[in-house]
Structure 1
């Protein structure tokens, strides 16, 4: 997550703005009270899939969580430092044009350190997603079918199928991906690996 970004304070702010107790948010998200409490105290750093599950219960999109709710005027170019980090502190997912209004797709620059993955729970959401492996290798499981993809290899699938990403290599894996609809700009019951 971005240096200096206070995940706990932001979650607490959004929870209180919706008039929810930690207990009620935990119940809606299907997590324990202590999970919400520990995140708000910044005692634990939630995985992306865990944070997404909690934000879906509010509902708040990951991009709104990290970028704030202020839209930015449309523009065609973004420097590397302007991408919005929506990763979990271990995985890095940098979203292009996070605050652009009426965005119809998500483009994400993903980085998976060796041994990292999107979590034990298979992810599912409406839409389609695809990407190209830029460096390293990644094991992708989609609806029980598994493949290890390397540099230059690509994937494309219906995101309603259960899926998971895992770096099985000994070096960082870098992927540039796209998904539609823009999972990270809409709240709701969607989950996504990136």
Structure 2
């Protein structure tokens, strides 16, 4: 049985990993979140690495900067099936000042504890919502449109995808997206590795 110090250390590492994953999912740098949360970049790095346990006030400021909540930070997989994240209990990221467009929500489909080679999210984009310009990074991406009309730009190519359409591309190619219609877009989006 673990002692209380070991449990506390494991919890600090878990919170740090979740915060780092949420920050990466939001395409934010350490200094971006530190500025929004009114803490030092060094302190945020220590929190993400599990070296420092943040106060409730600091944790609240960081999660608010990430467009999420402390409750979402501690969302757990289903206890009866630890490989399952139930609807309504998955961690989410919502709009924040550094993301362009209204109503972009990223809902994690893979648990933050997985130290693997892929990351999956449900992108929910309200009409008028868009990614913050074009980005590029290491890895590969693929997705499947569930609902709505997604305009996807990769390099200088633009395509409008509807329900049932899928896409794939190297993440090194500049890419971005927007809701091209008047209803909510829902896309299952998978990245490998989870380094964006």
Deviation at 1:67, TM superposition (A): 3.3
2:189 aligned with 1:177: yes
Aligned mates of 1:173, 1:86 — CA distance in 2: 16
Higher relative contact order (CA 8 A, sep 6+): 1
Q: Which runs of 4+ in 1 moved over 4 A?
A: 7-10
Structure 1 gaps, min length 5: 1-6, 20-39, 52-61, 184-189
Please say if residues 109 and 177 of structure 1, whose CA atoms lie closer than 8 Å, have aligned partners that are also in contact.
yes
Aligned mates of 1:128, 1:106 — CA distance in 2: 11
**More deviation, 164-173/96-105:** 96-105
Q: Could you tell me the TM-score, scaled by structure 1's length?
A: 0.59
Please say if residues 114 and 167 of structure 1, whose CA atoms lie closer than 8 Å, have aligned partners that are also in contact.
yes
Deviation per CA, 1:140-165: give whole Å up to 9, x if none: 00010000000101100001100010
Deviation at 1:18, TM superposition (A): 5.3
Deviation at 1:96, TM superposition (A): 2.1
Q: How does 1:42-191 map to 2 (within 5 A)?
A: 67=73, 75-88=82-95, 90-119=103-132, 121-183=133-195, 190=196
Structure 2 gaps, min length 5: 1-32, 46-60, 97-102
Over the residues paired in the alignment, what is the CA RMSD in angstroms? 3.7
Equivalences, count? 138
